[in-house]
Amino acid sequence: MIARLRRALPGALLVLLLGYVAIHGTIWLHARERLAHPPGQAADVALVLGNRAYRDGRPNPCLTGRVDAAIALARAGLVRQLVFSGGVDREDGRIEAEVMQQHARASGYAGPLLLEPVSQSTRENLSMSRPLLEAAGVKRVIVVSEPYHLWRVERLARATGFDRRFEVQYAAAPTTCWQRWGMAFRGALREPLAIVNNAVNGYFH
Protein backbone atom coordinates (compact mmCIF):
# COMPACT_ATOMS: atom_id res chain seq x y z
CA MET A 1 0.00 0.00 0.00
CA ILE A 2 2.76 2.42 0.95
CA ALA A 3 4.69 1.52 -2.20
CA ARG A 4 1.62 2.30 -4.34
CA LEU A 5 1.22 5.66 -2.66
CA ARG A 6 4.85 6.47 -3.29
CA ARG A 7 4.47 5.60 -6.98
CA ALA A 8 1.30 7.66 -7.29
CA LEU A 9 2.68 10.69 -5.45
CA PRO A 10 4.79 12.16 -8.30
CA GLY A 11 1.85 11.95 -10.69
CA ALA A 12 -0.50 13.59 -8.20
CA LEU A 13 2.00 16.36 -7.54
CA LEU A 14 2.39 16.95 -11.28
CA VAL A 15 -1.38 17.26 -11.72
CA LEU A 16 -1.55 19.74 -8.84
CA LEU A 17 1.35 21.75 -10.27
CA LEU A 18 -0.20 21.88 -13.74
CA GLY A 19 -3.52 22.97 -12.25
CA TYR A 20 -1.81 25.67 -10.24
CA VAL A 21 0.09 26.95 -13.28
CA ALA A 22 -3.12 27.01 -15.33
CA ILE A 23 -4.95 29.08 -12.70
CA HIS A 24 -1.97 31.40 -12.33
CA GLY A 25 -1.80 31.96 -16.08
CA THR A 26 -5.53 32.64 -16.27
CA ILE A 27 -5.52 35.31 -13.58
CA TRP A 28 -2.35 36.89 -14.94
CA LEU A 29 -3.79 37.25 -18.45
CA HIS A 30 -7.04 38.56 -17.03
CA ALA A 31 -5.09 41.09 -14.96
CA ARG A 32 -3.29 42.39 -18.04
CA GLU A 33 -6.61 42.68 -19.85
CA ARG A 34 -8.16 44.70 -17.02
CA LEU A 35 -5.15 47.01 -16.87
CA ALA A 36 -5.39 47.59 -20.61
CA HIS A 37 -9.12 48.39 -20.47
CA PRO A 38 -9.97 50.65 -17.50
CA PRO A 39 -13.58 51.69 -16.79
CA GLY A 40 -14.94 54.09 -19.36
CA GLN A 41 -18.37 54.93 -17.99
CA ALA A 42 -19.26 57.08 -15.00
CA ALA A 43 -20.53 55.38 -11.84
CA ASP A 44 -21.96 56.49 -8.51
CA VAL A 45 -19.13 55.12 -6.37
CA ALA A 46 -15.76 53.42 -6.42
CA LEU A 47 -15.77 50.47 -4.02
CA VAL A 48 -12.21 49.80 -2.85
CA LEU A 49 -11.62 46.30 -1.49
CA GLY A 50 -9.40 45.90 1.55
CA ASN A 51 -5.98 44.37 1.96
CA ARG A 52 -3.43 44.17 4.75
CA ALA A 53 -3.12 47.71 6.12
CA TYR A 54 0.56 47.84 7.07
CA ARG A 55 3.69 46.04 5.91
CA ASP A 56 7.07 46.39 7.63
CA GLY A 57 5.69 49.18 9.82
CA ARG A 58 4.50 51.32 6.90
CA PRO A 59 1.19 51.62 5.04
CA ASN A 60 0.93 48.69 2.66
CA PRO A 61 1.38 49.96 -0.93
CA CYS A 62 -0.95 47.19 -2.10
CA LEU A 63 -3.72 48.93 -0.12
CA THR A 64 -2.79 52.58 -0.60
CA GLY A 65 -2.33 51.98 -4.32
CA ARG A 66 -5.94 50.83 -4.56
CA VAL A 67 -7.02 54.03 -2.82
CA ASP A 68 -4.89 56.10 -5.21
CA ALA A 69 -6.59 54.41 -8.16
CA ALA A 70 -10.02 55.23 -6.73
CA ILE A 71 -9.00 58.87 -6.16
CA ALA A 72 -7.86 59.03 -9.78
CA LEU A 73 -11.30 57.84 -10.87
CA ALA A 74 -12.91 60.57 -8.76
CA ARG A 75 -10.62 63.26 -10.15
CA ALA A 76 -11.38 62.09 -13.68
CA GLY A 77 -15.08 62.58 -12.97
CA LEU A 78 -15.92 58.88 -13.21
CA VAL A 79 -17.20 58.54 -9.63
CA ARG A 80 -18.75 60.92 -7.11
CA GLN A 81 -17.97 59.01 -3.92
CA LEU A 82 -15.50 56.48 -2.51
CA VAL A 83 -16.42 53.46 -0.41
CA PHE A 84 -13.71 51.63 1.56
CA SER A 85 -14.34 48.04 2.63
CA GLY A 86 -12.11 46.18 5.08
CA GLY A 87 -12.18 45.13 8.72
CA VAL A 88 -9.62 44.54 11.46
CA ASP A 89 -6.24 43.16 10.42
CA ARG A 90 -5.19 40.14 12.43
CA GLU A 91 -1.56 41.18 12.05
CA ASP A 92 -1.69 44.60 13.68
CA GLY A 93 -5.27 45.31 14.80
CA ARG A 94 -5.77 48.22 12.40
CA ILE A 95 -9.06 48.64 10.55
CA GLU A 96 -8.37 48.60 6.82
CA ALA A 97 -11.26 50.91 5.91
CA GLU A 98 -10.01 53.53 8.36
CA VAL A 99 -6.44 53.29 7.07
CA MET A 100 -7.77 53.81 3.54
CA GLN A 101 -9.76 56.82 4.71
CA GLN A 102 -6.69 58.35 6.35
CA HIS A 103 -4.63 57.84 3.20
CA ALA A 104 -7.34 59.35 1.00
CA ARG A 105 -7.60 62.48 3.14
CA ALA A 106 -3.82 62.80 3.39
CA SER A 107 -3.68 62.56 -0.42
CA GLY A 108 -6.00 65.53 -0.76
CA TYR A 109 -9.29 63.78 -1.48
CA ALA A 110 -12.02 65.93 0.10
CA GLY A 111 -15.07 64.25 -1.41
CA PRO A 112 -17.68 62.05 0.29
CA LEU A 113 -16.66 58.73 1.83
CA LEU A 114 -18.41 55.66 3.17
CA LEU A 115 -16.72 53.01 5.32
CA GLU A 116 -17.49 49.32 5.71
CA PRO A 117 -15.16 48.40 8.62
CA VAL A 118 -16.16 44.80 9.42
CA SER A 119 -15.43 42.45 6.51
CA GLN A 120 -12.64 39.89 6.71
CA SER A 121 -12.56 38.49 3.17
CA THR A 122 -13.23 39.42 -0.44
CA ARG A 123 -16.60 37.71 -0.28
CA GLU A 124 -17.49 39.71 2.81
CA ASN A 125 -16.23 42.93 1.19
CA LEU A 126 -18.97 42.51 -1.38
CA SER A 127 -21.74 41.17 0.83
CA MET A 128 -21.23 43.66 3.67
CA SER A 129 -20.86 46.64 1.34
CA ARG A 130 -24.09 45.82 -0.46
CA PRO A 131 -26.55 47.13 2.20
CA LEU A 132 -24.39 50.23 2.64
CA LEU A 133 -24.55 50.94 -1.09
CA GLU A 134 -28.27 50.20 -1.27
CA ALA A 135 -28.99 52.59 1.62
CA ALA A 136 -27.07 55.31 -0.25
CA GLY A 137 -29.16 54.76 -3.39
CA VAL A 138 -26.19 53.55 -5.43
CA LYS A 139 -26.94 52.03 -8.84
CA ARG A 140 -23.54 51.93 -10.53
CA VAL A 141 -20.30 50.74 -8.95
CA ILE A 142 -16.66 50.54 -10.00
CA VAL A 143 -14.93 47.87 -7.92
CA VAL A 144 -11.25 48.66 -7.39
CA SER A 145 -8.63 46.07 -6.48
CA GLU A 146 -5.27 44.59 -7.41
CA PRO A 147 -5.05 43.36 -11.03
CA TYR A 148 -4.48 39.72 -10.13
CA HIS A 149 -7.32 39.83 -7.57
CA LEU A 150 -10.04 40.80 -10.04
CA TRP A 151 -10.63 37.39 -11.66
CA ARG A 152 -11.82 36.05 -8.29
CA VAL A 153 -13.64 39.26 -7.40
CA GLU A 154 -15.71 39.09 -10.57
CA ARG A 155 -16.76 35.51 -9.93
CA LEU A 156 -17.68 36.24 -6.35
CA ALA A 157 -19.72 39.24 -7.50
CA ARG A 158 -21.57 36.99 -9.92
CA ALA A 159 -22.12 34.20 -7.40
CA THR A 160 -23.41 36.52 -4.68
CA GLY A 161 -25.69 38.50 -6.99
CA PHE A 162 -23.72 41.69 -6.41
CA ASP A 163 -23.43 42.35 -10.13
CA ARG A 164 -27.17 41.82 -10.57
CA ARG A 165 -28.03 44.36 -7.90
CA PHE A 166 -25.66 46.98 -9.29
CA GLU A 167 -24.24 47.90 -12.66
CA VAL A 168 -20.62 46.93 -12.07
CA GLN A 169 -17.34 47.82 -13.71
CA TYR A 170 -13.89 46.78 -12.52
CA ALA A 171 -10.73 48.86 -12.17
CA ALA A 172 -7.31 47.25 -11.86
CA ALA A 173 -5.18 49.41 -9.59
CA PRO A 174 -1.69 49.82 -11.12
CA THR A 175 -0.04 49.76 -7.69
CA THR A 176 3.63 49.31 -6.89
CA CYS A 177 2.65 45.80 -5.77
CA TRP A 178 1.85 45.08 -9.39
CA GLN A 179 4.77 47.00 -10.84
CA ARG A 180 7.46 45.63 -8.51
CA TRP A 181 8.22 42.05 -9.44
CA GLY A 182 8.75 40.74 -5.92
CA MET A 183 5.44 41.95 -4.49
CA ALA A 184 3.49 41.08 -7.63
CA PHE A 185 5.01 37.62 -7.58
CA ARG A 186 3.99 37.00 -3.95
CA GLY A 187 0.46 38.23 -4.47
CA ALA A 188 -0.09 36.37 -7.70
CA LEU A 189 1.31 33.17 -6.21
CA ARG A 190 -1.13 33.29 -3.29
CA GLU A 191 -4.16 34.09 -5.42
CA PRO A 192 -4.55 30.62 -7.03
CA LEU A 193 -4.69 29.15 -3.52
CA ALA A 194 -7.44 31.62 -2.60
CA ILE A 195 -9.33 30.67 -5.76
CA VAL A 196 -9.11 26.96 -4.91
CA ASN A 197 -10.21 27.68 -1.33
CA ASN A 198 -13.22 29.66 -2.54
CA ALA A 199 -14.15 26.97 -5.04
CA VAL A 200 -13.89 24.19 -2.44
CA ASN A 201 -16.15 26.17 -0.12
CA GLY A 202 -18.72 26.63 -2.87
CA TYR A 203 -18.42 30.41 -3.04
CA PHE A 204 -18.48 30.52 -6.84
CA HIS A 205 -21.88 28.83 -7.16
Q: What is the pLDDT of residues 157-187, one digit of tens each?
A: 999 999 999 999 999 998 777 666 555 556 6
- β-strand pairing of 113-116 with 54-55: unpaired
Q: Who has greater pLDDT, 22 or 113?
A: 113
In percent, how much of the chain has pLDDT > 70?
A: 87
Q: How much is the mean pLDDT over the chain?
A: 88
DSSP assignment letter at 136 = T
pLDDT in the model for residue 182: 53
Specify which of 1-10, 20-29, 137-146 reaches the highest per-range mean pLDDT: 137-146
190: left (phi over 0), alpha (psi -120 to 50) or beta: alpha
pLDDT in the model for residue 11: 59
CB 43 within 8 A of CB 169: yes
pLDDT in the model for residue 92: 79
DSSP assignment letter at 57 = T
DSSP assignment letter at 44 = S
**Any residues with CB less than 8 A from the CB of 101 and at least 6 apart, and which?**
84, 113, 115
**Any residues with CB less than 8 A from the CB of 20 and at least 6 apart, and which?**
192
State the Cα–Cα distance between residues 198 and 38, nearest whole angstrom: 26
User: Hey, which bits of 60-195 come out as E strands?
Assistant: 81-85, 113-116, 140-145, 167-172
How long, in residues, is the chain? 205
pLDDT in tens, 76-110: 999 999 999 999 988 778 999 999 999 999 999 99
Q: Which of 104, 97, 193, 183 is nearest to 147 (CA)?
A: 183
Helix (H, G, I), strand (E, B) or coil at 101: helix
Please state the rounded mean pLDDT for residues 45-67: 91
Q: Which of 75, 78, 92 is nearest to 170 (CA)?
A: 78
